[in-house]
Amino acid sequence: MGDRGDFRSVVEARAGLAPQAPFLCAPESARVTTYGELAARADALAAEFDRRDIAEGDRVAFMLPNGTAAATLFVGTMAAGRIVVPVNLLAQDAHLDHTLAHAGPRLVYASAEHADRVRASIARTGAAIALETIDADGYALPAAPPPRLAARDPRRPAMLMYTSGTTGLPKGVLLSHANMLHAGRTVAAHHGLSARDRVLSSLPLYHINGQCITTVGTLVSGGSIVMPRRFSVTRWWAEVERWRPTWLNLVPTIVAYLLNAADPTPAQREAMRTLRFARSASAPLPPDQQRAFEARFGVGIVEAMGLTECASVAFCNPMEPGSRRIGSPGRPLGIEARVVGPDRRVLRDGETGEIELRGPGVMIGYYRAPELTAATVDPDGWLATGDLGSRDADGYYYVTGRLKELIIKGGENIAPREIDEALLRHPAILEAAAVGVPDRDYGQEILACIVLKPGCELTRDEIDAHCARELGRYKSPRHVRFVDALPKGPSGKIQRMALARDFAA
């Protein structure tokens, strides 16, 4: 859409084609934002930024839950030529301070429930940042004539996105208009999205999946989004009945909780007939859970994989059910991929190494970190992902874990995902995560953290017997902890390093 290749051209084109078509449906307020209103909001934002002397290319942040304000600020700020900085609502104080000080936004929009945290962070860092408290379900901007904005190079920055920082302070990933629109267009084309499609997604707008897949994928296809403020297992199928989406954007945590919840009502079952597919990404989907979801709800899951540094697009399974590979995120999508060894030699099919990516989705770089950028993206444009995996003869990729999370016991490499999936095959286990912890004899031993299903009990002897059958003695966890919940990032990805730190403490 559009001949300039930036967000303003896409928003203007969509509003010109169908100004009354819905873009965003906010279930809590029942407010529907049209494409015409989205374009008007982008114009009003541009005028407001001009009034505040916030120039094109300056950074504007928001700390808001999902809703009308977050979605229109996210798109509208980029369409207004400023760099949007979404702030993680779950960020610890140290991470929040780092994000605001490092990004240096001129202005932060925050909802009332988060404004005090932003105000305190600004005071701690001494940054010259203005704070505007707004209503998360919609807010008014002063009426002003829309400014005349010149055409912009699509290679210019559009978003500064901070990673979840599981191993240290978050890194600022700088993505261009071209990066993000490539991701949206690639996803829309692969899934066959059109103006008739509607996605139900509760994934937060401070995570790359909710940004590029849910929002940008919908924007470029002219469809609509149903965006609850947060995921509710008791409301999920009711929202399907109410809004009649054609696809679902999920993460494995949502799949697990829906499987453990009550069945949809007959009326909800009838409404589910509008669903063409569900998409799962952001973390590996256990194969048994995918099979159980599809069998119970009659909705096929297309598993995919992306990362912030590639605007959330890297791999995806085919749309044709018979071509999908359960346990694989699929083939490369809109990007080149390869598997390399420690010496960066390209490995043969079936060999495990680090996955590297190259293509139009790869980031501009890490903000204010040229050395880190150079260490991550080589001169030929290949991005080192840190993910371990392999490719099969048909071009499907399989991810076994992260380089930093690999368990090395007595010199043998053990993928945590193998332990997770074995544990999840026990009917009493809702969630599980394995990590390596220090051991005097083996260097590392296996710790398994387990969340039981409500009302279920499990003894250590029963776990040991189950693991001995599924994994053998050597790969069975030596340490087991029962926990109420696993630490997760905004996408639902388990933060294994936090589990290892907790064990050491």
Cβ–Cβ < 8 Å for 5, 220: no
- Considering the chain, what is the average pLDDT of its residues? 93
Please report whether residue 149 resides in a domain. Answer: no
- pLDDT of residue 284 exceeding 90, the answer is no
- Statement to judge: residues 443 and 362 lie in one domain: no
Tens digit of pLDDT for each residue in 216-268? 999 999 999 999 999 999 999 999 999 999 999 999 989 999 999 999 999 99
Tens digit of pLDDT for each residue in 352-366? 999 999 999 999 999
- Statement to judge: residues 387 and 410 lie in one domain: no
- The three-state secondary structure class of 131 is strand
- Give the pLDDT score at 1: 43
Q: Mean pLDDT, to the nearest integer, of 149-165?
A: 84
- Give the pLDDT score at 99: 96
- Give the pLDDT score at 405: 83
CATH number, position 419:
3.30.300.30
- pLDDT of residue 151 exceeding 80, the answer is no
| Nearest CA-CA partner of 268 in 300, 236, 241 | 241
- Give the pLDDT score at 2: 40
- pLDDT of residue 145 exceeding 90, the answer is no
CA atoms within 13 A on the CB side of 134: 24
Q: Which of 46-60, 151-165, 490-504 has the lowest mean pLDDT?
A: 490-504
- Statement to judge: residues 251 and 104 lie in one domain: yes
Q: Angle, to 10 degrees, between the axis of helix 68-79 and the axis of helix 35-51?
A: 70
Domain boundary among the residues 339, 366, 391 is at 391
Q: Which residues contact residue 203 at a Cβ distance below 8 angstroms, ignoring those fewer than 6 apart?
A: 209, 210, 213, 214, 249, 251, 282, 491
Q: Which of 2-11, 143-152, 272-281 has the lowest mean pLDDT?
A: 143-152
Q: Mean pLDDT, to the nearest integer, of 184-203?
A: 98
| Nearest CA-CA partner of 1 in 154, 224, 208, 146 | 154
- Statement to judge: residues 330 and 411 lie in one domain: no
DSSP secondary structure, 363-424, as one string: -SEETT-HHHHHHHB-TT--EEEEEEEEE-TTS-EEEEEEGGG-EEETTEEE-HHHHHHHHH
- Give the pLDDT score at 92: 86
Please report whether residue 117 resides in a domain. Answer: yes
Structural domains of the chain, count:
2
Please report whether residue 401 resides in a domain. Answer: no
Tens digit of pLDDT for each residue in 476-503? 999 999 999 998 876 677 888 888 888 7
- Give the pLDDT score at 490: 65
Please report whether residue 415 resides in a domain. Answer: yes
Distance from C-alpha of 467 to C-alpha of 53, rounded to nearest angstrom: 62
Distance from C-alpha of 107 to C-alpha of 132, rounded to nearest angstrom: 7
- Give the pLDDT score at 403: 83
pLDDT tier for residue 3 given thresholds of 50, 70 and 90: very low
Please report whether residue 188 resides in a domain. Answer: yes
Please report whether residue 381 resides in a domain. Answer: yes
- pLDDT of residue 400 exceeding 90, the answer is no
Distance from C-alpha of 236 to C-alpha of 88, rounded to nearest angstrom: 23
- pLDDT of residue 127 exceeding 60, the answer is yes
- pLDDT of residue 43 exceeding 70, the answer is yes
Q: Mean pLDDT, to the nearest integer, of 391-404?
A: 92
- Statement to judge: residues 381 and 425 lie in one domain: no
| Nearest CA-CA partner of 77 in 95, 58, 93, 97 | 58
Task: Return the H-helix or E-strand segment holding 451.
Answer: strand 443-452
- The three-state secondary structure class of 134 is strand
Report the phi/psi class of residue 151: left, alpha or beta, with left for phi > 0 and alpha for psi in -120 to 50.
Answer: beta
- Statement to judge: residues 269 and 369 lie in one domain: yes
311 φ, ψ (degrees, to nearest 5): 55, 35
Q: Which of 77-81, 316-320, 411-415, 431-435 has the lowest mean pLDDT?
A: 411-415
- Give the pLDDT score at 164: 67
- The three-state secondary structure class of 188 is helix
Task: Return the H-helix or E-strand segment holding 12.
Answer: helix 7-17
Give the range of the structural domain holding residue 444, as residue numbers without chain letter: 406-504
- Statement to judge: residues 217 and 361 lie in one domain: yes
Question: CA-CA distances (angstroms) from residue 462 to 12, 360, 469, 482, 485?
Answer: 61, 50, 11, 13, 21
Q: Mean pLDDT, to the nearest integer, of 185-208?
A: 97
Percent of the chain with pLDDT over 90: 82
Higher pLDDT, 420 or 410: 420
Domain boundary among the residues 357, 391, 425 is at 391
Domain boundary among the residues 351, 368, 391 is at 391
- Statement to judge: residues 362 and 423 lie in one domain: no
pLDDT tier for residue 413 given thresholds of 50, 70 and 90: confident
- Statement to judge: residues 13 and 135 lie in one domain: yes
In this structure, which amino acid lies at residue 371? E
- Statement to judge: residues 252 and 310 lie in one domain: yes
Question: CA-CA distances (angstroms) from residue 291 to 188, 253, 261, 371, 451?
Answer: 25, 15, 16, 44, 21
3-state helix, strand, coil in the chain (%, to 5): 35, 25, 40
